[in-house]
Structure 1
Amino acid sequence: MANEESFAEAQRRSDAMWKSLGEDGGAHTLLSGDRPTGRLHLGHYFGTVRERVRLQEMGVNTNILIADYQVITDRDTTAHITEYAYDMILDYLAVGIDPERATIFCHSAVPALNQLMLPFLSLVSESELLRNPTVKAEQEASGHALTGLLLTYPVHQACDILFCKADCVPVGKDQLPHIELTRNIARRFNERYGKVFPMPVGLLSDTPLLPGLDGRKMSKSYGNSIAISMTAEETAKLIRKSKTDSERTITFDPENRPGVSALITTASVMTGRDPEEIADSIGDAGAGALKRYVTEVVDDYMAPIRERRAAFAAQPALVREILHEGNRRANEVADETLAQVREAMGMVY
């Protein structure tokens, strides 16, 4: 019951924030981001990336983090990290993030952000860190030892959110414990040293979770995801190879027909059509017809995104300059916030 009550409260806060954003987006600050561990896929896009574009268009002060330091929470290498980071920027630009209105930056390029870890770690207990469900899930998924960085990365995420005084963060339901910990850190700092930080709110959306093409969670490691950067040919091949079943009549049944239902969900999210309606329209035409329909839907949706991405990819110097400028702006903000933290703590010498 306690979890139900806490989710209900998180939903109430989210609804109130969406209302406030609609009234005056410019009064709010957003932080969102991704780890550069591979190519962004449609799960990322429909989960949070599209929301960032929507919020940017509402006038919200938008900050987008390439969380390069968080790559080493559960990995022993940073191979390809530069490639993945620039690939990610191309995806952001292609889907509509405007570097004139949004700050795109990297962890490792903003020292003052990371320095907030020291005072913030003093505001959380060992038990709070150990019971974070996402940390446990990521450790189990990676098979990696529980490093100090993995254990404390929810605190690092609090640094990400609070360095720019973000008050709204697009999240899924499973990420709400991170927002709650960040709120605790902000409240405890303000009570102990004086008010510096806002109380951030997790922004929940009504977009359904987009499964991978096999019905499992969409994941780069499963090979079941359509990357934003894929060509039409690569996408068609992936959809064509996706596993369905031997039953000819198409029905929407996620539990018993995960592959078929995942394809239907992909088409539903992209067209706004009801999944049952899509299934009925395919009917006895079989999985081949469904795959052709999904390929057509994805191609129609992704065509303008692919066109913009190709245009930016042809200008690598511009993409590097966008990141350099984003890092510069993020450093200005982080330095100011750290100065306020040091002053509040009486550590100005």
Structure 2
Amino acid sequence: MITTVDSIRRNPARHRILTGDRPTGPLHLGHYFGTLQNRVELQRLGVDLFLVVADYQVLTDRDLADNLAEHAENLVLDYLAAGVDPDRATVFAHSAVPALNQLLVPFLSLVSVAELGRNPTVKDEIAHSGRATVSGLMFTYPVHQAADILFCKADLVPVGQDQLPHLETTRTVARRFNERYGAPVFPEPDALLSAAPLLLGTDGGKMSKSRGNAVPLGASEDETARLLRAATTDADRRITYDPEHRPGVAGLLQLAALCLDRTPEAVAEEVGDSGAAQLKKLVTEAVNEYFRPHRARRAELAADRGFLREVLRVGNERANAVAATTLAEVREVMGTV
């Protein structure tokens, strides 16, 4: 199921990618190395890129979508600063494409409650939500994501390792729809894993906005230094790369390695017996140097909020046209015209 970038180099125009993020706060280093960097490279190769600002899905694990418009604009800001070209990519808001969301109804009829309950990603998100009850939107999140992917008939989805169960749900929905209605309407999309599918946060766990262990892409150099100084390590002065037994140290080594284009083992060897303080200093310098051009572009783009809104307006128009075509085809094969 997993496809590499090399497999699409020969004919990138044949492929369409759907990916995106929930506008719940600033993107962080885990987003960048996990998927965002990969999206930009795929666009450069010539793949048709769709990026969803998943504003409806903000409600999966919270009562209110606070500061939604600001977060949506900042998400677009992070995309463009990272190198996404709005003239070649379709950047759109989930809530602005009604035909996309209408696909959720027939798609829900194709999966069982038991299948949704077994999804490990949903169970993990529920466990970390701190809630006594679970909303129907949270429970059906994988099917909503299937509608995001299939409305534009994307055949490739850049994901982290933890998102593979969601993509398998999408493949199941596409296959069952085609079988039930006897028409090859939807492709079964493949996963594209980046070189760093899971970047650990400052506490040694998965880097996440909601878990308070992330370094935002838009952080200043001083803020980056402060966050990394507080990162979890251990008492062993000798720095080694051991993800199983030393996750905090391993996460820092992996981050430095990504910024320096080296292996974590090589970075560990360089730090040697100098201890955690020297490791954090090295990581901070590597991150700040690597993201200096990104932060400069981000500051320039942030000065024109009107441009960010225009990118979304144009993207919404493109996405609506695609969604209307797909919904018309779905209604035709279902006999609901």
The TM-score with structure 2 as length reference comes to 0.95
- Cα deviation digits, residues 273-298 of structure 1 (max 9, x gap): 12222122122333222222111111
How many corresponding residue pairs? 335
> C-alpha separation between the residues in 2 aligned to 1:122 and 1:257?
45
> C-alpha separation between the residues in 2 aligned to 1:342 and 1:334?
12
Q: Which residue in 2 is equivalent to 1:5?
A: none
Deviates more, 1:187-196 or 1:98-107: 187-196
Deviation at 1:178, TM superposition (A): 1.8
Deviation at 1:105, TM superposition (A): 0.8
CA contact (8 A) 2:161 2:198 kept: no
Q: Which residue in 2 is equivalent to 1:296?
A: 285
CA contact (8 A) 1:113 1:163 kept: yes
Give the AA of the match of 1:301.
Y
CA contact (8 A) 1:37 1:71 kept: yes
Q: Which residue in 1 is equivalent to 2:83?
A: 96
Label 1:259 to 1:180 Cα distance change in 2 as closer, same or farther (>3 A).
closer
CA contact (8 A) 1:48 1:170 kept: yes
Give the AA of the match of 1:345.
M
Label 1:248 to 1:174 Cα distance change in 2 as closer, same or farther (>3 A).
closer
Q: Which residue in 2 is equivalent to 1:82?
A: 69
Q: Which structure 2 residue ranges, 5 or more long, are not aligned? A: none
Deviation at 1:344, TM superposition (A): 1.4
CA contact (8 A) 2:35 2:197 kept: no
Deviates more, 1:81-90 or 1:253-262: 253-262
Deviation at 1:19, TM superposition (A): 4.2
Q: Which residue in 2 is equivalent to 1:263?
A: 252
Deviation at 1:257, TM superposition (A): 3.3
CA contact (8 A) 2:33 2:194 kept: no
Q: Which structure 1 residue ranges, 5 or more long, are not aligned? A: 1-9
CA contact (8 A) 2:17 2:157 kept: yes
Q: Which residue in 2 is equivalent to 1:243?
A: 232
> C-alpha separation between the residues in 2 aligned to 1:75 and 1:112?
24
CA contact (8 A) 2:201 2:214 kept: yes
Deviates more, 1:308-317 or 1:279-288: 279-288
> C-alpha separation between the residues in 2 aligned to 1:344 and 1:219?
41
- Cα deviation digits, residues 131-162 of structure 1 (max 9, x gap): 11111111111023221111111111110011
- Structure 1 SS opposite 2:217: coil
Give the AA of the match of 1:323.
L
Deviates more, 1:205-214 or 1:263-272: 205-214
The TM-score with structure 1 as length reference comes to 0.91
- Structure 1 SS opposite 2:9: helix
Q: Name the Cα RMSD after superposition.
A: 1.6
Give the AA of the match of 1:97.
V
Deviation at 1:172, TM superposition (A): 2.3
Deviation at 1:39, TM superposition (A): 1.3
Whether 1:320 and 2:309 are equivalent positions in the alignment is: yes
CA contact (8 A) 2:160 2:197 kept: no
Give the AA of the match of 1:105.
F
Whether 1:156 and 2:144 are equivalent positions in the alignment is: yes
> Which consecutive aligned stretches of 4+ in structure 1 deviate over 4 angstroms post-superposition?
none
CA contact (8 A) 1:215 1:254 kept: no
Label 1:269 to 1:184 Cα distance change in 2 as closer, same or farther (>3 A).
same
CA contact (8 A) 2:161 2:197 kept: no
Deviation at 1:117, TM superposition (A): 0.8
